[in-house]
Amino acid sequence: MSSINYSEKIPNNVNLSEDRTLQRALEGWQPNFINWWDDVGPEGSTNYDVYLRTAVSVDPQGWAQFGHVKMRDYRWGIFLNPGDANREIHFGDHKGEKAWQDVPGEHRANLRRIIVTQGDTEPASVEQQRHLGLTAPSMYDLRNLFQVNVEEGRHLWAMVYLLHKHFGRDGREEAEALLERQSGDANNPRILGAFNEKTPDWLSFFMFTYFTDRDGKFQLAALAESAFDPLARTTKFMLTEEAHHMFVGESGVSRVVQRTCQVMNELKTDDPAKVRAAGAIDLETIQRYLNFHYSVTIDLFGADQSSNAATFYSSGLKGRYEEGKRTDDHQLKGQTYKVLEVVNGQLVEKEVPMLNALNEVLRDDYIKDSVAGVGRWNKVIEKANIPFRLQVPHKAFNRAIGALAGIRLSPDGRVVSENEWSARKNEWLPSDEDRAFVASLMGRVVEPGQFANWIAPPVMGINRQPVNYEYVRFG
Amino acid sequence: METAEAVTTLKQHLIDPEICIRCNTCEATCPVGAITHDDRNYVIKADVCNGCLDCISPCPTGSIDNWRTMPVVRAYSIEEQLTWDELPPELTNEQLEAFGVAEEAEGEGTGAAAAAAPSPAGLAEPGAQAFRSAQYGAHVPPWSAAHAYTNLHTPRNPVLATVAGNFNCTEEGFDSETHHIVLDFGAQPLPVLEGQSIGIIPPGEDALGRAHQPRQYSIASPRNGERPGYNNLSLTVKRVTVDHQGQPVRGIASNYVCDLKVGDKVKVVGPFGGSFLMPNHPKSHIVMICTGTGSAPMRAMTEWRRRLRNSGKFESGKLMLFFGARTPQELPYFGPLQKLPKDFIDINLAFSRNPGQPKRYVQDLMRERSADLAALLKDGLSHFYVCGLKSMEEGVVLTLRDVATEAGLDWDAIGSAMKAEGRLHLETY
């Protein structure tokens, strides 16, 4: 069953109309969702017709339909990847048993916690990004921002469906709370730290979609292995949408880098001040933004040793990235993994049971994936014949969670004194001046085909449309 | 049409490593496992990809939508692709010629190829970019196309068809022999559209003891069956007796298919193809240009239009056909074609080896009809389909360009609009 029923109030491919109780519960939640969107969704966008991608079915032909729609009328809904009635659990203590269609009582609390934590990030990023539309560097980028926003909204729907369908009253209360917490709210913040940080400018937005949405990719990929089949099928479909967010980030930073290199070559300079004076973002500032977003994001994977992570894995709730493609015993008992700690002022590796280190395993998979993209940004710099190279900081740099929290480390992995840290912090992380400078470049450019001075145009448009296509029609 | 034995070039599907973000969406989507990756690149196996286009719209970047015309034997291997930092440029005509591609266009023994004029070489001005016809071919269907199902049956789970008919549709006694085969699927699902193809797996094993690869054939019947309302379809298959160099060879699949008896069971995979599809808009025009067994999809489209017209669901859409063969006797469906009403389809036949007649190629006829073609090129409702041997493609697209230019039209604008809107389709082999 892959077609989506759009005749219903809540588009879905889960036969919602056959479950009247659930349908009523979700129809009760829907007005609150729309209110939330109106209150803290993209600012001032109500009358825009945006060239958006909407799913009409979850097969390859139907899931990406393009057309101009008002975001408020976006067909948010509940879409699960097609199921396999014979699917078996393929890791942990229940390996070989049939996948669960309902939540087993003993795993209820943990599963709810996993779903709520994932669900909380979705509205959070919409809130973080709500002002960015006012300073878009182009109509093309504005459209991409809005596409990211509506898909985060749909991901919230996906998690709320699971809560309503499988967790009874607790689930309904959690679904309400997802709309009540707010990013950066001192009294009722979002659950995870990175989702309470500001996304004040477009360089931050591109870094966020590159680094932080990639955390989303890895978390969703680990959940797509879950023994709880509805969660696995939901997150699998979300992954297809998530890829667009990382595209926005990777190509966004790449275009900023490209423009900077172009300015450097035109002016024949590598002086950051001259680059800034010419209205582009110097590579050093880009590196500091990268250090910040990278370090904040790898905290999201949690403590390097965690008994919860072991429980989640052994009980089949959450697998590893690409669990199905790995060739070990998928139970990991008696195996070890190396994590970092500081002994006598030095970083040293130590072997710990792998089951307890699964957060670190996922973090390391993430690091490998994100480093590859940084390499592709460097190709742009290399092509411009500029000797500078971007790099990700050491894994222990600027951490706030786990055994490495609070350790003062330079980006290249040297333990430094508190004095040196204070003295050089602004070389390593964006300073207030950096942020003020980047903010000063943020003006609104929305003529079709026009781009702000600090960013290069993309090589191609969306869905084979030209770059100067009217991606957003202002009402 | 028969690709596997006639292929010399292929439209190789490639991923642009400069744009790709390595998100794995294409690999997860591909129904036939043609996409793989290492730490550096995502790449496509040329021998596995069947051009179903399932990966195109899920790709968030557009990097997946890249194609290069390559001699089959020189198709980029995945090992090569894995080393790339950027896509290689299209091969120039000269490079293709160096691989022997253009020479074959002039070779005898290529049957219907003789009806297509050799590509005019050296047309490009010095310093100007060489003309590459493939760059104008669309990878998307027209907006009014029906939804095509693809890959319902793979080599692992082929569907078993029953032969319901097998007729020699060229006149007896000539050295070339083309068969019209009807396959029946009973109650098994294989919904198809005009322009799609299916694969047939010949029985037995190759010299290395492996099962034969499926050979792909265009469907020659309309969507509702060779016989309306029946779950059957027809194919046009030429018996291969010589290779591209004119050396005697016995094509495994084509001889198997041409020798089938009514009641025989055949293993079928597919359907394939999601872009070479006809428009369904009742005012849309279809211009069909083909040689030899390239006529199969044209027969399918024409017949569907004829059935629509008979049921009154047909407005002002025109049909125009340019069909080339060596002789009238060799031209598949020559008899039935002559019986179609003139106000239904505008037929132009070119014969390159008709005794006592000057050689005529499809491009010659297109030039003669340039006034009508120019009017159609100007019209956003016109759709062009080219099917036949590779050697005709360049000449046909060049002729379209010349017709447009001589009529004072901007070919670059028209050509790219036709590509973007799925209105110029090239299926050559």
| pLDDT in the model for residue A6 | 62
Of B22, B140, B147, the CB nearest to A372: B22
Query: Residues of B with CB below 8 A from A217's CB?
Result: 23
Chain B contact present for A464, CB below 8 A = yes
> A426 phi and psi, to 5 degrees?
-75, -10
When pLDDT is averaged across residues B291-314 and rounded to a whole number, the result is 88
Q: What Cα–Cα distance (Å) separates residue B115 from each residue in A14, A97, A132, B323?
A: 56, 63, 61, 9
Task: Say if residues A25 and A160 touch (Cβ distance below 8 Å).
Answer: no
Of A379, A461, A463, the CB nearest to B85: A379
Chain B residue nearest residue A250, CA to CA: B21
Residue bearing the bigger pLDDT, B333 or B371:
B371
B23 vs A217: CB contact, 8 Å cut-off? Answer: yes
Q: Which residues are registered as beta bridge partners of B232? A: B184
A379 vs B39: CB contact, 8 Å cut-off? Answer: no
For chain B, which residues lie within 8 Å of any Cβ of chain A, measuring from their own Cβ? 18-19, 21-25, 28-29, 31, 39-40, 54-55, 57-58, 60-62, 65, 85, 140, 147, 274, 420
Question: In whole numbers, what is the pLDDT of chain B averaged over residues?
Answer: 83
Of A60, A243, A461, the CB nearest to B60: A243
Chain B contact present for A1, CB below 8 A = no
Query: Residues of A with CB below 8 A from B21's CB?
Result: 243, 246-247, 250-251, 373
The C-alpha R_g of chain A, in whole angstroms, comes to 23
Query: Residues of B with CB below 8 A from A250's CB?
Result: 21
Query: Residues of B with CB below 8 A from A379's CB?
Result: 18, 85
List, in order of start, the domains of chain A with CATH numbers. Answer: 46-118+202-473 (1.10.620.20)
- CATH 3.30.70.20 segments of chain B: 9-89
Of A368, A459, A462, the CB nearest to B19: A459
Calculate how close chain B gets to A342, using CA atoms only, in Å. 31
Distance separating alpha carbons of residues B409 and B412, to the nearest angstrom = 9
Three-state secondary-structure class, residue A293: helix
B21 vs A460: CB contact, 8 Å cut-off? Answer: no
Residue A24, burial from CB neighbour count under 10 angstroms (0-12, 13-18, 19+): exposed
A240 vs B57: CB contact, 8 Å cut-off? Answer: no
Containing H/E element for B402? helix B390-406
- CATH 3.40.50.80 segments of chain B: 285-428
Assigned token pair, A407: 């350790």
| pLDDT in the model for residue A312 | 96
When pLDDT is averaged across residues B371-377 and rounded to a whole number, the result is 94
Chain A residue nearest residue B54, CA to CA: A60
Distance separating alpha carbons of residues B17 and B19, to the nearest angstrom = 6
| pLDDT in the model for residue A234 | 95
| pLDDT in the model for residue B353 | 84
- Per-residue pLDDT at B144 exceeds 70: yes
pLDDT tens string A226-284 = 999 999 999 998 998 899 999 999 999 999 999 999 999 999 999 999 999 999 999 99
| pLDDT in the model for residue B111 | 35
| pLDDT in the model for residue B2 | 38
Residue bearing the bigger pLDDT, B328 or B170:
B328
Give me the CATH topology for the region B9-89.
Alpha-Beta Plaits (3.30.70)
Query: Residues of A with CB below 8 A from B61's CB?
Result: 247, 251
Query: Is the backbone of residue A64 left (phi > 0), alpha (psi -120 to 50) or beta?
Result: beta
B274 vs A61: CB contact, 8 Å cut-off? Answer: yes
Question: Which one, of A122, A128, A134, lies nearest residue A45 by Cα?
Answer: A134
- Per-residue pLDDT at B6 exceeds 70: no
Query: Residues of B with CB below 8 A from A60's CB?
Result: 29, 31, 54-55, 57-58
- Per-residue pLDDT at B250 exceeds 80: no
| pLDDT in the model for residue B101 | 60
- In sequence order, the 6+-apart residues with CB closer than 8 A to the CB of A387 are none
- Per-residue pLDDT at B128 exceeds 60: no
Task: Say if residues B312 and B98 touch (Cβ distance below 8 Å).
Answer: no
| pLDDT in the model for residue B174 | 58
Tell me the pLDDT band of B246, cut-offs 50, 70 and 90. low
- Per-residue pLDDT at B117 exceeds 70: no
Calculate how close chain B gets to A29, using CA atoms only, in Å. 30
Query: Residues of A with CB below 8 A from B49's CB?
Result: none
Residue bearing the bigger pLDDT, A193 or B2:
A193
- CATH 2.40.30.10 segments of chain B: 159-272
List of chain A residues with pLDDT < 70: 1-8, 61
B19 vs A60: CB contact, 8 Å cut-off? Answer: no
Give me the CATH topology for the region B285-428.
Rossmann fold (3.40.50)
| pLDDT in the model for residue A188 | 95
Residue bearing the bigger pLDDT, B3 or B145:
B145
In degrees, rounded to 5, the angle at the alpha carbon of residue B264 between the alpha carbons of residues B260 and B266 is: 85
pLDDT tens string B386-428 = 998 877 888 899 999 999 999 999 988 899 899 999 999 998 8
Task: Say if residues A157 and A30 touch (Cβ distance below 8 Å).
Answer: no
Assigned token pair, B346: 């505008």
Chain B contact present for A251, CB below 8 A = yes
Q: Which residues are registered as beta bridge partners of A339? A: A350
Chain B contact present for A217, CB below 8 A = yes
What is the greatest pairwise CA distance in chain A?
68
Query: Residues of A with CB below 8 A from B28's CB?
Result: 239-240
Task: Say if residues B271 and B148 touch (Cβ distance below 8 Å).
Answer: yes
Assigned token pair, A95: 């390996």
- Per-residue pLDDT at B7 exceeds 60: no
B62 vs A460: CB contact, 8 Å cut-off? Answer: yes
Query: Residues of A with CB below 8 A from B29's CB?
Result: 60, 240
Q: Which residues are registered as beta bridge partners of B70? A: B10
Task: Say if residues B190 and B198 touch (Cβ distance below 8 Å).
Answer: yes
Distance separating alpha carbons of residues A237 and A220, to the nearest angstrom = 10
- In sequence order, the 6+-apart residues with CB closer than 8 A to the CB of A311 are A110, A317
| pLDDT in the model for residue A3 | 60
A459 vs B61: CB contact, 8 Å cut-off? Answer: no
- Per-residue pLDDT at B257 exceeds 70: yes
Tell me the pLDDT band of B310, cut-offs 50, 70 and 90. confident
CATH code given to domain B159-272: 2.40.30.10
Cβ-Cβ contacts under 8 Å between A and B: the total is 61
Distance separating alpha carbons of residues A126 and A41, to the nearest angstrom = 6
Calculate how close chain B gets to A375, using CA atoms only, in Å. 10
Sheet hosting strand B424-428, strand order edge to edge:
B346-351, B319-325, B285-291, B382-388, B424-428
- Per-residue pLDDT at B81 exceeds 50: yes
- Per-residue pLDDT at B106 exceeds 70: no
pTM over 0.90: no
Chain B contact present for A406, CB below 8 A = no
Q: Is the ipTM reported for this complex over the cut 0.90? A: no
* Cα A99 to chain centroid, rounded: 27
Instruction: Please tell me the least confidently modeled range out of A439-453, B82-96, B108-122, B371-385.
Output: B108-122
